[in-house]
Amino acid sequence: MSKVFVIAQGGGPTAVINQTVAGAALEARRRYPGSQVLGARHGVRGLRDGHFFDLAALSDGDLKRLADTPNAALGSTRDKPDAAYCARILEQLDAAKADAFIYIGGNDTAGTLQILEKAGGDRMAFIHAPKTIDNDLVENDHTPGFMSAALFVAHAFLSVDLDFSALPGIYVGIVMGRHAGFLTAAAAAWKRGPKSGPHLVYPPEIPFSVEKFVEDVRAARDEYGRCIVAISEGVATDDGRPLIESLLGDALERDPHGNAQLSTGDLGVALQTELGAAFPKARARVDTFGYLPRAFSATVSPGDRREAFEAGAFAVTAAEHGSASIAIGSEKGPGAIRSVPLSAVAGKTRLMPSGFLDPANHMLTAEGRAYFDRMLPPRPDVFSLLDN
């Protein structure tokens, strides 16, 4: 029996978000031959305005090419629909005679689906397919998109640590992430030993003080001859305000929701100034990774690719049983993907477990390392004479 599926992508793109689209489209084709699969252009915005791509018209080959393309191939949006916006979305879904609406995104996306489900859940299924490089969805062991972004960050810190062992100095890499420190902590996933970097990791979950940071850097540099640091762009002072807010004050850029704009170079320049003052003779460099990690075409994780595809396929199956959020467990293979209620995920933020990182030495614990060992392929074999 043929059906009508509508699918959309929301929020920041990832390296594998198109896998989820392709997984859903191919599963719909396999399970319900003759189905319509409509992809909304630029997320709920295209859905509201009736701008669709006909995904059923794509060949299997083109869907596989689409799957392997990083970043959102249907376009995305930052819109957070209010009630009126949701009413227009429902009108479009009704007009399309949709059996299910699959929306790929983070916890805001699940929240939008919850609103839609309240208004129209008797007429179709609203399915949330998980996606976020922040890895901050509750009920999930990890989320599609995260493993690839983490792979970029791990490669970056492996490489920079070798670079700064050749030409010693202080290096700070600032990594995306407003509340959850998983991606920043990935910096230490391939740490080669106690002497090698990163030597310090600052996730947003642990209050940040510039004075303490400078002390930490001094101690690590004295001990190891160099100091490599990973800092989340979202680190906050102990009053809970983002560090960038206390550094920039009124000059701070804010997004339409009033949140501090974090992905600028300002935090980097401010930290560079602090390091220059504290270590006037040292080579100290700060890089803001910015948009590079989130969908870099050379660091797409094969496991991430596979899971994102399976999450899309599972979303189609789950739609038979009504609205749900798809969640990824820690198991491998069948059974790792399951359905949970939208309400279990919507609007909630999962932080990095406190057991993953020891705040006394700003480094992954054995528990944290074990988690990242599951998330990443083995560290590339490197051999440096400077390690001896």
Q: Is 254 in the site for a second copy (CB under 8 A)?
A: no
Any idea which residues carry the catalytic annotation?
134
- In the list 114, 143, 165, 232, the residue contacting a second copy (rule: CB under 8 A) is 165
Q: How far is the CB of 39 from a second copy (least distance, A)?
A: 7
Q: How far is the CB of 386 from a second copy (least distance, A)?
A: 5
For a second copy, which is the closer residue by CB, 111 or 268?
268
- In the list 268, 303, 312, 368, the residue contacting a second copy (rule: CB under 8 A) is 268
Q: Is 287 in the site for a second copy (CB under 8 A)?
A: yes
Q: Using CB under 8 A, which of the segments 7-15, 123-131, 238-246, 338-346 binds a second copy?
A: 7-15
- In the list 146, 152, 213, 356, the residue contacting a second copy (rule: CB under 8 A) is 152
Binding mask 332-351 for a second copy (x = CB under 8 A): --------------------
> To 5 degrees, how large is the angle CA 136–CA 140–CA 143?
60
Q: How far is the CB of 285 from a second copy (least distance, A)?
A: 6
- In the list 7, 24, 66, 116, the residue contacting a second copy (rule: CB under 8 A) is 66
Q: Is 275 in the site for a second copy (CB under 8 A)?
A: no
For a second copy, which is the closer residue by CB, 138 or 282?
282
Q: Is 71 in the site for a second copy (CB under 8 A)?
A: yes
Binding mask 289-318 for a second copy (x = CB under 8 A): xxxx-xxxxxx-------------------
Q: Using CB under 8 A, which of the segments 132-140, 160-168, 205-213, 343-351 binds a second copy?
A: 160-168
Q: Is 29 in the site for a second copy (CB under 8 A)?
A: no
Q: Is 380 in the site for a second copy (CB under 8 A)?
A: yes
Binding mask 46-65 for a second copy (x = CB under 8 A): -------x--------x--x
Q: Is 106 in the site for a second copy (CB under 8 A)?
A: no
Can you give the three-state secondary structure of the chain, one letter per residue? CCCEEEEEECCCCCCCHHHHHHHHHHHHHHHCCCCEEEEECCCHHHHHHCCEEEHHHCCHHHHHHHHCCCCCCCCCCCCCCCHHHHHHHHHHHHHCCCCEEEEEECHHHHHHHHHHHHHHCCCCEEEEEECCCCCCCCCCCCCCCHHHHHHHHHHHHHHHHHHHHHCCCEEEEEECCCCCCHHHHHHHCCCCCCCCCCCEEECCCCCCCHHHHHHHHHHHHHHHCCEEEEEECCCECCCCCEHHHHHHHHHCCECCCCCECCCCCHHHHHHHHHHHHHCCCCCEEEEECCCCHHHCCCCCCHHHHHHHHHHHHHHHHHHHHCCEEEEECCCCCCCCEEEECHHHHCCCCCCCCHHHEECCCCEECHHHHHHHHHHCCCCCCCCCHHHC
Q: Using CB under 8 A, which of the segments 86-94, 129-137, 210-218, 286-294 binds a second copy?
A: 286-294
For a second copy, which is the closer residue by CB, 159 or 354?
159
For a second copy, which is the closer residue by CB, 370 or 382?
382
Which parts of 208-247 interact with a second copy (CB under 8 A)? none
Q: Is 198 in the site for a second copy (CB under 8 A)?
A: no
Residue from 310, 356, 44 nearest 180 by CA: 356
Distance of CA 146 to the CA centre of its chain: 5
End-to-end CA distance of the chain: 66
- In the list 77, 132, 143, 323, the residue contacting a second copy (rule: CB under 8 A) is 77
Q: Answer for the pair 203, 181: CB distance below 8 angstroms, yes or no.
A: yes
On the question of a cis peptide bond just before residue 280, with omega within 30 degrees of 0, the verdict is no
- Beta pairing, strands 324-328 & 357-358: unpaired
Kindly list the residues in this chain that would bind a second copy in the complex (CB under 8 A).
9, 12-13, 39, 41-42, 53, 62, 65-66, 68-78, 151-152, 155-156, 158-160, 162-163, 165-167, 171, 253, 263-266, 268-269, 272, 276, 285-292, 294-299, 380-386
